[in-house]
Every structure is written in structure tokens, then in C-alpha cells.
Structure 1
Amino acid sequence: MRRILFVFLFVFSSLSITAQVASTYTISFENAAHHEAVVEADFTNLKEKTVEFRMSRTSPGRYALHEFMKNIYDVKVTDGKGNALKTSRPDPYSWTVSEHDGTIKVKYILFANRGGGTYSQIDDTHAHLNMPATFIYVPELEDKPMEVTFKVREDLNWKVATQLKHVEGHTYYAKNLQYFMDSPTEVSHFSKRSFQVNGQTIHFVLHHNGTEAELDEYFSRVKKIVLEEEQVYGELPKFDYGEYTFLVCYIPNASGDGMEHRNSTIVTNTRSLADGGMDSNLGTVAHEFFHCWNVERIRPDALEPFNFEETNMSGELWFAEGFTSYYTNLTLCRAGLMSEEKYVKSITGTFNYVWNSPARQFFNPIEMSYQAPFVDAARSVDPVNRDNTFISYYSYGNMLGLALDLSLRQNGLNLDDYMKLVWKKYGKQEKPYTVEDLHNTLNEYAGETFGSHFFKNYIYKSGMPDMKMLLNSVGVSLTQNLDKPDFGGPVNDEGFISKNTIIGTAAYNAGLEEGDKILKVIGTDFTSSNDFNALINSLKPNDIITIEYERFGLPKQTKVTLLPNTTYSLNLFEINNQKLSVKQKAARKAWLGSKQK
């Protein structure tokens, strides 16, 4: 009797869900070898006389426009009885239909060949689907349930992995457009591992050309990352349907990428586990899983709800992306997957990029975040001056996270507990936050004097704290060799300056710029970049050299006054044979040690 009741309730529930669905899709992959899929969409219960259906221009987790419409063709539109409908095109992204019977059926071909976190890829190895790049939608129905059926290639042993709710067979359900568009799907002959964390299931789906033994070893490392990051917040988020899924492709035809979603993430790379990926691919895994708290639930107000028709601008990306970047390698170190020495070395490039950039005179971290629609996989053909005017909010926020963490530790506090408080106030309640909310929360956690000083000087302005002192407190040295000279512009083997010269450098001050071809240095013919760099390194700061060069086909000459090389080096005290005090040793352990109990 119980079994009959259970079956009845399951069928009733499924019928109830199906009855509410207003957007139904079927996607098939017979021509996968040529990167094509056929999509059939049925839109029902339409109330408006004139109905618009359209393709998204953006994708969750991206902030720029991507114009997915360019990969759609052979569009056919009919009513519920199969009669052809006349459409109009008000813009390049949408269609409108005025005469319909309450139902519109649309069939089209999708071309897709980029496997990553934004676009879709279809070939005879997999159907890697990001929903905004794959499916048209009807804005009128955005709040109504949706359903999609994947006609898998059984001849290729394909299966389906997604955060969408399973209905039956290869059919899946989303409660509305926002959830549907945020639910990437991997259809392939993948392998899968799972483990339980406090009643919830973490799935790891891997599409690769490696072995099951390699997957087992890699999965053991992934579990360490998940459990270490859980300690930062004290708990996992409450995942919808009690599950979180890593959708991972390490295959030659993918692109290197990672993209967070509410209950899943896409991670892609061409690097196989056997070819160094066992270690080097872990950073993206750590970064994207941290996002299930920071950005998916601790969510900037500016991104809620996500706009599929326009760019999405947020002034909080230094926190949402940047602090997540700070925790990426920190997590690997805490989990024992990266040595302390390697972790400190990993900071060096980012530290130099941020601290030595002239861009801070133009924009603070909030304004750098505003640049996302221009830099987040966005494309343009005109040259830009970002070498001088932009610092990635990933990198800027990474170093701000480091600065805040070490500053808090000076007062017996730490960034983990600040993140816990932000989680409890905003993320756990799914209450979108603003920069002001982050400021007020830091005031609440560390005191108004500390919080206001940090935000007024380093967030609302572009100042930098005394990092030498802060790093010293955990036994890390910060040094410069100002006796070495710096030319200030990369020169290739043909003698061309290959990038914009940086404001304030020797080359910039001498008027040299990208595209100039160096002919002679101090009267000696240019031969190679190695010889040029060796010559510069043989000189001293304040030495003046004569450069003969060519610009736009005309010979020119300038004098360059070499300046000190301002590059920073970061090292553990032990590497420089410095003694680590008991206090410094304890502080470093509290910072870099595992939080597992």
C-alpha cells in the first residue's frame, strides 16, 4: 500500500510540475561532428497579443555582452497547429509574433564550438551547454517553470549532468528563467564521483581522456578543497535539491575557464591530469567552489536579478571576485595541496602587478570593478591603454584580501570570521549587499575606527597599507633590489617595443611607445632581446643611454635615463636565512594552517 501511495504521489507531483511548464525545449545532436544542435521550443499559455522571443546577450557570471544570437540560424516559427507564423525583427536579438493561438513553436539550428564557462560546445566528444548561449526564451514567461529534454547520443554513451531538477529520463526542470539560465549542462561519456557533507551531496563529474585511477586521486584533492573552504564560513550553503555538481572538462578541444553557478560550476582546461593538471588545475576548482558562498549567495545588489539583455555592472567585484581569488591559493595551502613557500611565491606576481601599477591614480577598486563589461571576455578592435589605466578586480581584490586579513590579525581578528559575519548577515539570508553594507559589517566586526580607516583609504581611495610590516608579522620578507636598472618596456627579438610603455618608467619618460623599433643602443646595433636585456642589466640606475629607433618608417633618437627596478620579492624568512620568532611562527600557522578540526 505504501509503495502504491509513493508511486501515486510521484506521478501526481510530476504531472503537477508538467502542467505548470510554459517553456518546453528539446535539443538533439545528430550533427554534432559539425558542431550543430537542433533546438525545438514550445511556448504555451501566451496571454499577450504580440509576443517577443529572443536570445540572451549575456551569461550569469559574465558582465560583458556576448551576442549569442550570432550562432542561431534556420529559424522556423509555427503556431500550436503547425501553421507558419509571420515574424518581425525589431533588433538583432529578438523576434516578435502578433498572430498566434496561445502557443508558439520555434525550431532552429545552433552552432557551438567553444567549451568553457560562457559559450556552448558541441562535437562528437560532448555537448557542453551554457543555457544563454543555447536556448531562446520568451520574456513574458520568465517567471514560469521550464522543462528541457536532451536527446543524448546513445551511440556515444552520453549521459546528462546538471543542477536542473530531474523529472524523468533525460528531461529536467527549472522553476523559472533565472534558474534555467544559471544551469549549465554537460552531456557526454563522463565519469562521476560523489561524497556526502552534512547531509548534502557533492558530485564531481569529469569528462577527460584519462584513467579512473587519475580521477580517484584528483577527487581526493577536490574533497580537501571543499572541506577546507567549508571551514571559512562554518557551513556549506543549503544547495537546492541538496546537491552541488562540479562539471569538469579536461580535454584538448576545451578552453581554459571556470564559471560559478548557484549549485554547480563549470571548470575547463586543455591540460590533462596526466600532463600536470593534477596540481595546476586545482586553483580553478578552489576558486569556483568558493563562489557558492561569495557571489552566488553573498550577492552584490547590482547583479540581482541578472539582466540577460544588457551588460551587468557591479562596483563590488573587488570583493566578489577578488576576495575569492585571495582564498583560492590560500585554500590550497591550508589543505596541504600547496607548500607555504610556493604559496608565498604565488603572491609575488600579483603583488607587483597591483602595487606597481600607475592605474591606481585613475580608479579605485570600486571603479576598477565598473570596468568589467569592457574586460570580462569582451572584445573590441581598437587599441586601449589598460596597461596604464586598469588593474584586474581579481588581482586588486586578491591583494586587498591579503591586506585586510593580515591587518585584522594584528588585532587578534581574521578575515575568515569577517567572511562568516558577511555570510550570516547577507549570504545565508540571500539578502543582496552593497559596498556600504560591507563597510558597515567590517565596522561591526573590527570596530568603526578600523573599518572606516580601511574603506576610506583602500576602497573609496586607492591607497595601500604598509605591506612590509604586515608580511613581516607572519615571517614573510618583502624586498626590492633598487640597485638594478629598469628600461620600462618589453622589447622582442625584432627590436619592437611590444606593449604600451608604463607611465613613469624610463622608456615612457623618454617618449618611447609600443610599435617603436629599436635600431641601436649606445651606438651598437640591436641584435636580440636577450642581448638588449643583458646590456641594460650591466648598467646602473640613473645611467643615460642613447636609443636610435624607427617610428612609422622614420628614424628617431632619444636619451633614456634608466630608473631603479621596483620589482618586489616575497619570501619566507627561512629562505633568506632570517630567524622566525615564536610569535611569527604562531601567526603564520594561524594564517596558513588547516582549519580542519
Structure 2
Amino acid sequence: MKQPPAIRYRVEALDPHAHLYGITLEVDRPARITTVSLPVWIPGSYLVREFAQHLQRLHAWADGHITPARQLSKNTWRLSLPKGTRLLRLRYEVYAFDPSVRTAFLDACRGFFNPTSLCLRVHGREAEPHALDVAPPGHAADWELATALTPLKARRNGFGHYIAQDYDELADSPVEMGRFWSGRFKVRGVPHRFVVSGAPAGLDGERLLRDTARICEAAMALWHGNEAPPFDRYLFMLHASADGYGGLEHRHCTALICQRGDLPLLPDTGAALSPGNGMAAEPRLKATDGYTSLLGLISHEYFHTWNVKRLRPHEFARYDYEQENYTQLLWFFEGFTSYYDDLLLHRADLIDDATYLQLLAKTINQVLQTPGRQVQSVAEASFDAWIKYYRIHENTPNATVSYYTKGALVALCLDLTLRQEGHTTLDAVMRALYERCAGGPMQEADLLAVLKRLGRRSYAREIDAWAHGRDELPLQALLEAHGVVWQTEAAPLAQRLGLRVSETDGLVLKNVLRGGAAEAAGMAAGDEWLGVELPGSAQGSASGWRVRKLDDVALHMRGQNQCTALVARDGRLLRCPLSWPPAARTVRLSAGELAAHSPLKTGVRFSRKAVTPSK
């Protein structure tokens, strides 16, 4: 580029101990009336987060002369500039101490930011190239920087100048700074980089790269067969913390958080266990392993590279950063992605049939144990994500359903139905849908059209019932038709009582589920369950017991059908007459004689030839 971009940002780690970034924004040839604003949300996380609450000390200069910036709203400022102003410079600070993947963080050990939290948008100039210059921190000479943005003039440690083709690309490109482990690999010739901050010294980076590469190849094979993917680079940014989990997808990268204990670790000998080095292979992953959850998260966010960041709701053809962007299709974009995340682990030969079915049973039970599935459809849950999904409270499971989990089961039902009828699979539908929409905005009508063409009949009735309706999904019949054994077993006591509890500091009720025994007894979320009174002798005396966990309740209720639950609420002691409910059941899946067309038998598998590790 001969001329530098007319819109330039410089980000400095101004004061790590105060968690302050310093930002300078320069705009060449600004309009006489220039408006700037900070986004109120970040794409991929559907909640108005009010990033401007952390912006402070905003000052502006027009050709070196101080000029006032008038605040118009919570996140918007307007500047009236002298005619012919050549350069507008704004300087401000942003407080950054949110360790999530959605905002910004800075301390003496690590820095991370999404530009939606730091970079003011210049109205009317969004389509122009934007430059980002990140200065090396003065307090830590050994820090490195990682970002998926295209470098213009960057140092070997990553600090320096980068360019985005427009504000959307800038907003979609987070930055990681600090001391981190870094590794690289190629899949189908596309370079991938993986950086991990906060990792313990025993991190088995080679295993992490190897397993991630297998996931990437499985995803590429699903979407493109043997063709190359529609991107030329990809970056995984993972922060390992004491207690965290989550991810946020971006066009050329993803930001992830996991617990340190979820990372793959070298054995005590210090040598990685891997096939071909004379040692035994790693043990097969279990559904309960933290590393299995991490790989599922990696798979989920990588799948979003196609399903959300390219193929996306038509309402997101152009993001409106000033307000909510509504869609009824999150059940497709998040739910179908959730269906494929664990399925791709199976296709990458990272988990076996039994582990996959255990993960699937967990999803089924999560949905079946949510009374809100009978109150709200997943299409409605998608639309209401802005006020419900990210604002969890004590009544959430009674009022709404997750478009992740039930959306995944809608995808499962659709895939099993398509395979049973023998004309196509959901894999083929996803590829055809991507081609139909040219990897861009789509509507539900596009999905229905592809289903009708490949499935040779209309699937409008199924989509209407499963995505827009509230009836139970035909899970058992469809799974059994594919050779999966559906069994039930005794459910945990919390489910039997209709409760979700915390036992960390006494027995505290987090949720009281609709229609359950606890609700019928008059128990409420927030109650501390102190004890139980049991029917006593023939003279009508009562026997009381202190309880601190649900196991205590079960111990004292053996052989009893009635009790009085003693709870503390708002400083009062209450007696709640509790009728012991009948035994509840939970679903367990296992592989029987799997059908030849089962998703566990078909689908493009991992190919080692397509993956090239590199140092």
C-alpha cells in the first residue's frame, strides 16, 4: 500500500497495574461534522455489553488545536471541525480488566483486547482500510503479540503495524499479548498458529497441535471435500486460567479460555506419548475428561469459520454495532455447530463410539431436564438471546431453552431422518447451502430449498415442528432406527426433586424447576435447605435432622414418603411439606448394531496426508 490508511489506531499498554490502555485515533481528511462511537456489542456474543462504560479521558485535536467532543449518547461523540481540517486526532483511555474472550484485559502478566472494546468507529468511513499499531509494552521487553490481522510492518515479536480492509475486519480481529507458548501446523497448505497463555510448564504442545490439526482437517473435509478452504491463515488464541471456559469465533481466528487442568500435559518422564516414538499412544479420551471438553470447544469455534462467519443470518449481512441485531436462526448457527463439534472429534478419531454417545446423551438429558423447552421454541430462544440467554437467573431453566443444546438435537434429528430416507445427509445439505448462498447471508428459506432438492421432498413440517414448535423431538425412535441403544437409568436426586443446587457453602437451591416436587412444596431459589423433619412415633412426635448436602437428605428419607423441609429464606425459617417424588429416569446411550448409514459409520474422516506439522 503506497499511502498509509486514512484511519489509524495506536494502542499502548498505558498502565498495566491500573489496567489502562491508551488509544490514539488519527483520521485524515475528516468531515466537518465527524461522529465516532464505540460498539455496544461484539458479534458472536448476543448481549448489549456497553463497552463505552470503560472509556475515559477523551480529548481531541484538529490540526493540533484542541477541539471539543460533544457526547450525544452513552457511546457516541460528535466533533464540529474547522473547514479544511487535515488531521483529527483523538486520545482516550480504556479500563480493561475482564478476563473473558468478549472484551479487553490488561495487567503486568498479560494483555488481550477485542477492537470493539478499544477502537472508536468513524461513522461514514467504515468501508475504508483501517491501520492498527500496537506498541511494545515498556514494562515487559519479553512480551510477544499474536493477531490474525495482516502485518504491514511488524517486529519479530509481533508488535508493530497491521492493516484491516475495513472496520468490520478490524472489529473481528482480537489481539493477544504477553508470554505465551506458540506452535504451528499446516492443513491443506493453510498455515495455522496456536498460542497458549497461562499454560503450566508441562504443556504437551505437540499433542495439542496434532489433535487440533486433525479437527481442522475433518472440518475442511466436511465443507469442501478435497478442495482448499476459503481462507489463507488461521490463529487459535487460548488462555489457560484457574477457572474458565468459553470461546468466541472470528473470521480468521478464535479466542478461547479453558482451565489449566484441561490442557494436555507431558508425562512425568518429560517425553510426550505419541505413536511412532517408541512409546504407547495416549489413552482413549473419556467423555468426562477436561481435555475432551477443550477439543470440543476448539472444534466448535473452528466450525464457526464457515457456519456464522461466512454462512450467516441474512440479518447479519452488515452488522449494526449500535443496537441488537435480531435473528431467529441461532438454533441453526449455534445449534448445528454444536451438533458437529463432537461429531468431528469422532471423525478425527479422537473419541470412540462410546464416548461420542455419552456426550450425546449428556446433551439429550440437558434438554429433557429443562422445563423451558415446553415454554419456548428454539427459534424464539434465538430471537430472545439478547435478553435471556446471557442473562441467566433463577427462573431461566423454566422459561427458556438453549438454542445450543436443543439446536444440536434438531440437527441430529434432521441428519438421522435424511440418512434413514436414503437420499442425502446433513453433511451434503451444509455444503450445498454454503454453495447456494456463496458463503454469505442466508435465510431459513434457503435451508428448506436445499433440503427439498437433496432430500426429494419438503421438510418444512419437520423444521416447523422441531425449530418453531415446543413438542418433544423424536429422538428415541430415530436413534434406535440407526442401531443406537436407548436406555434409561435412575436420575440423580436433584433431578428427581426438580432442583439445581450448590453444596459449596451449605445446601443452597439455585433453581427450582417447574412442575417438580420442590416447587410443589413451596421451596424457592435462594433457599438454604437446613434440615428435614420426619414423621415420628404414633404419638405424633417428629424426628429432625440437619442436612448440608443432598446425600444427607437421601440418607434420612430412606423408606419415607413425606417430610418437612426446613429452609431459611430472607432471614426467616420456613417449613415446606415435601412429598417424596417417584423415581425419575435419565437417558443412557450405547452402540448396538449401528446402521450402515449412521453418522458414526459415514462421513469424511481425518486424513493424515493433508496435515503438515511445522516448527
The TM-score bracket by the shorter chain reads 0.7 to 0.9
Deviation per CA, 1:52-97: give whole Å up to 9, x if none. Answer: 12211111211111111122222221112x2111221111212211
Could you say if the C-alpha distance between residues 171 and 402 of structure 1 is closer, same or farther in structure 2, counting changes exceeding 3 Å? same
Residues 92-491 of structure 1: matches in 2 within 5 Å?
Answer: 92-100=74-82, 101-153=85-137, 155-169=140-154, 170-210=160-200, 214-235=204-225, 238-240=229-231, 242-252=232-242, 255-271=244-260, 273=263, 278-375=291-388, 377-378=390-391, 385-412=395-422, 413-426=424-437, 429-449=438-458, 451-481=459-489, 486-490=496-500
Deviation per CA, 1:513-564: give whole Å up to 9, x if none. Answer: 2244554332432422245442487358xx4545455655556555444433
Q: 2:306 touches 2:439 (CA, 8 Å); kept in 1?
A: no
Deviation at 1:132, TM superposition (A): 0.5
The letter of the residue matching 1:171 is: H
RMSD: 2.9
Counterpart Cα distance in 2 of 1:205 and 1:335: 22
Deviation per CA, 1:373-426: give whole Å up to 9, x if none. Answer: 1245458xxx55212011111111112122222222212232211211212112
Could you say if the C-alpha distance between residues 43 and 285 of structure 1 is closer, same or farther in structure 2, counting changes exceeding 3 Å? same
Greater mean deviation of Cα atoms: 158-167 or 507-516: 507-516
Aligned partner of 2:533 among 500, 504, 521:
521
Could you say if the C-alpha distance between residues 30 and 516 of structure 1 is closer, same or farther in structure 2, counting changes exceeding 3 Å? closer
Q: Residue in 1 aligned with 2:274?
A: none
Residues 56-67 of structure 1: matches in 2 within 5 Å?
Answer: 56-67=39-50
Counterpart Cα distance in 2 of 1:378 and 1:102: 45
Greater mean deviation of Cα atoms: 38-47 or 196-205: 196-205
Q: What's the secondary structure of 1:281's corresponding residue?
A: helix
Q: 1:237 touches 1:292 (CA, 8 Å); kept in 2?
A: no
Counterpart Cα distance in 2 of 1:171 and 1:55: 22
Counterpart Cα distance in 2 of 1:516 and 1:203: 48
Q: What's the secondary structure of 1:410's corresponding residue?
A: helix
Counterpart Cα distance in 2 of 1:32 and 1:481: 53
Q: Residue in 1 aligned with 2:61?
A: 78
Higher normalized helix content (fraction of residues):
1
Deviation at 1:239, TM superposition (A): 4.2
Deviation per CA, 1:35-57: give whole Å up to 9, x if none. Answer: 2221111012222x322122111
Q: What's the secondary structure of 1:590's corresponding residue?
A: coil
Could you say if the C-alpha distance between residues 483 and 106 of structure 1 is closer, same or farther in structure 2, counting changes exceeding 3 Å? closer
Could you say if the C-alpha distance between residues 433 and 329 of structure 1 is closer, same or farther in structure 2, counting changes exceeding 3 Å? same
Deviation at 1:445, TM superposition (A): 2.1
Give me the identity figure in percent. 23
Number of residue pairs matched by the alignment: 562
Could you say if the C-alpha distance between residues 405 and 524 of structure 1 is closer, same or farther in structure 2, counting changes exceeding 3 Å? farther
Counterpart Cα distance in 2 of 1:301 and 1:484: 42
Counterpart Cα distance in 2 of 1:27 and 1:57: 20
Q: 1:478 touches 1:568 (CA, 8 Å); kept in 2?
A: no
Counterpart Cα distance in 1 of 2:259 and 2:21: 23
Unpaired segments ≥5 residues, structure 2: 155-159, 266-288, 535-541, 609-615
Q: Residue in 2 aligned with 1:55?
A: 38
Q: What is the TM-score when the length of structure 1 is the normalising length?
A: 0.86
Counterpart Cα distance in 2 of 1:149 and 1:355: 50
Could you say if the C-alpha distance between residues 544 and 264 of structure 1 is closer, same or farther in structure 2, counting changes exceeding 3 Å? same
Q: 1:488 touches 1:508 (CA, 8 Å); kept in 2?
A: yes
